[in-house]
């Protein structure tokens, strides 16, 4: 039971995604991440609560009018720090460009 948000806008969406993730925090507390796109990919994800993964020093504001965010509720895998970091989402591939969270 994870939390997922996607936004396409006519202005930067990073703060909107951040606030949506705060609202979705109850859906997953193992890790959080977001990805924005402005022709370049800007992604930050880590284990922990949204407020700990993102703060003024940690990528709340990233450029891009397109973005997705994810909070993870760990149901599979181990709960050690390395596993939590490895399983944080979203994920993306470059060729062809595809970003996803589930």
Segment 27-79, tens digit of pLDDT:
999 999 999 999 999 999 999 999 999 987 777 899 999 999 999 998 776 77
Catalytic residues: 2
Specify the number of domains making up the chain. Answer: 1
pTM here is 0.88
**For the domain that residue 61 is a member of, what is the CATH number?**
3.60.20.10
Query: What pLDDT score does 98 carry?
Result: 82
Task: Look up the domain containing 82 and give its range.
Answer: 3-100
18-57 per-residue burial string, b: 16 or more CB within 10 A, e: under 16: bebbbebeeebbbbbbbbbbeeeebbbbbbbbbeebbeee
């Amino acid at each position: 039971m994870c939390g997922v948000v996607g936004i396409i806008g006519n202005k930067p969406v990073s703060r909107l995604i951040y606030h949506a993730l705060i609202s979705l925090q109850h859906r997953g507390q193992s890790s959080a991440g977001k990805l924005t796109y402005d022709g370049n990919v800007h992604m930050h994800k880590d284990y922990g609560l949204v407020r700990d993964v993102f703060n003024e020093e940690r990528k709340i504001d990233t450029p891009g009018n397109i973005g997705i965010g994810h909070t993870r509720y760990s149901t599979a895998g181990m709960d050690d720090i390395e596993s939590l970091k490895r399983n944080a989402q979203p994920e993306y591939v470059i060729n062809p460009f595809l970003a996803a969270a589930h």
